[in-house]
Amino acid sequence: MQYKVIGILAVILMIAMTVTAAAADSGNPENRVHQHLTGRAPDAGCNCDRTELCTHLPLVLIETGGQEIPGVPIVDANGQEIGVTTTEDGEEMLLAKISILDNPDHNHHPSDSPDLEASVLIRIRGNSSRYFDKKNYLIRFVGPDGDYQNHTVMGMDAHYEWALHGPYLDQSLIRNYMWYNIAGEIMGYAPNVRFCEVVLNGEYRGIYVMTETITNGTDCRVN
């Protein structure tokens, strides 16, 4: 019992020290942005006619030209996974177009002018999550010559690689968002995240979490 009390007190002390340190450093421009505190409020309102999707969250539109995004599991007659799908050319990632709408001054609609338009390579990501109805996606921004291009996304530092995490088992939708932000207050290198809504080839896919991936090497997030 004594050790349990000591352990609980140690945890409380650690949390208190973390919160105090974060508060003391509130003037640091590198402090983490918490979207639920700084983003547009859900009840901010909009004067549109509601004939299309209207959201206070950033909006991500992806167009693949009717092609299927690769990475869907291939299962044999015995139910064993034997691989994943590729593009028609046998590539692991598909070239697609992405438009991102992220203006904190108003709600977003698919017909609005995007704040960012670019080409991306995209595939389904994950292991067991590949089988979920709501897929997770890996995207990489590329230029006309196919080279990776860094882009600032939803206020997060510019990079070429991002993950679109679709909360499927987590019906609260906030687990990854919450834990990444808590971790970010303790260690500044935890990935940044932003809630957004995704429309794929004109079909609404739901709420996603745009997430910085952990990459290493030259010009990557970890060096």
Tokens of 88: 């028609």
- What is the phi/psi pair of residue 164, to 5°? -105, 105
CB neighbours of residue 19 within 10 Å: 12
Residue 57: C-alpha distances to residues 35, 118, 196 (Å): 10, 20, 5
d(CA 70, CA 150): 23
Q: Are 197 and 39 in contact (CB under 8 A)?
A: no
> What angle do the packed helices 175-186 and 2-24 form, to 10 degrees?
80
Per DSSP, the three-state class of 128 is helix
**pLDDT computed for residue 26 by the predictor:** 43
What pairs with residue 62 in β-bridges? 98, 200
- What is the phi/psi pair of residue 221, to 5°? -75, -25
Per DSSP, the three-state class of 131 is helix
Domain ranges of the chain: 1-30, 32-212
Tell the residue number behind the tokens 């992806």, with chain if given.
62
**pLDDT computed for residue 25 by the predictor:** 46
Tokens of 186: 């303790």
CA 42 centroid distance within chain: 19
Tens-level pLDDT at each residue, the chain (223 residues): 665 767 676 656 565 555 555 444 444 445 688 999 999 999 888 999 999 999 999 999 999 999 999 999 999 999 899 999 999 999 999 999 999 999 999 999 999 999 999 999 999 999 999 999 999 999 999 999 999 999 999 999 999 999 999 999 999 999 999 999 999 988 878 899 999 999 999 999 999 999 999 876 566 666 5
**pLDDT computed for residue 5 by the predictor:** 64
